[in-house]
Structure 1
Amino acid sequence: MPQLDFANPLMMSKLIWLLIIFGVLYYVLKAYALPRVASVLDERAARIAADLNAARDAQAEGEAALAELRASTAAARAEAQAAISAAMVEAQAAAAAQAAEINARLNAQVAQAEAQVRQARDNAMGALRGVASDTAQAMLARLSVPAAANDVAAAVDRAASQGAG
Structure 2
Amino acid sequence: MPQISQIAATYASQIFWLLVTFGILYFGIGKMMVPRVIATVDAREGRIAGDLAAAEQARLAADTVEEAWRVKMDEARAAALAETSAAKAQAAKAAESQVKSADAELAERLAHHDLAVGNAKASAMLNLQTVAAEVAQDLVAKVSGLTVSIDAAADAVRRSNAHG
The residue that corresponds to 1:30 in the other structure is 30
Deviations 1:40-86 (A, max 9, x none): 11111111111111121222223333333333333333333333333
For residue 68 of structure 2, what is the aligned residue in structure 1? Answer: 68
1:78-89 maps to which residues of 2 (within 5 A)? 78-89=78-89
Supply the distance in 1 between the matched residues of 2:62 and 2:141 (Cα, whole angstroms).
115
Task: Give the match's secondary structure for 1:8.
Answer: helix
The 3 A distance-change label for structure 1 pair 120 and 11 is: same
Aligned to 2:77: 77
2 CA distance for matches of 1:38 and 1:79? 60
Q: What is the aligned length?
A: 158
Question: How high is the TM-score relative to the length of structure 2?
Answer: 0.73
Matches within 5 A, 1:149-164: 151=152, 153-163=154-164
Matched residues, percent identical? Answer: 33
CA 1:6–1:66 in structure 2 vs 1: closer, same or farther (change >3 Å)? Answer: farther
Deviation, structure 1 residue 144 = 4.4
Distance in 2, matches of 1:38 and 1:159, equals 134
Matches of residues 116-135 of structure 1 in structure 2 within 5 Å? 116-134=116-134
* TM-score (normalizing by structure 1): 0.73
Query: Following the alignment from structure 1 to structure 2, what is the Cα–Cα distance between the partners of residues 23 and 92?
Result: 99
Structure 1 unaligned residues grouped into runs of 5+: none
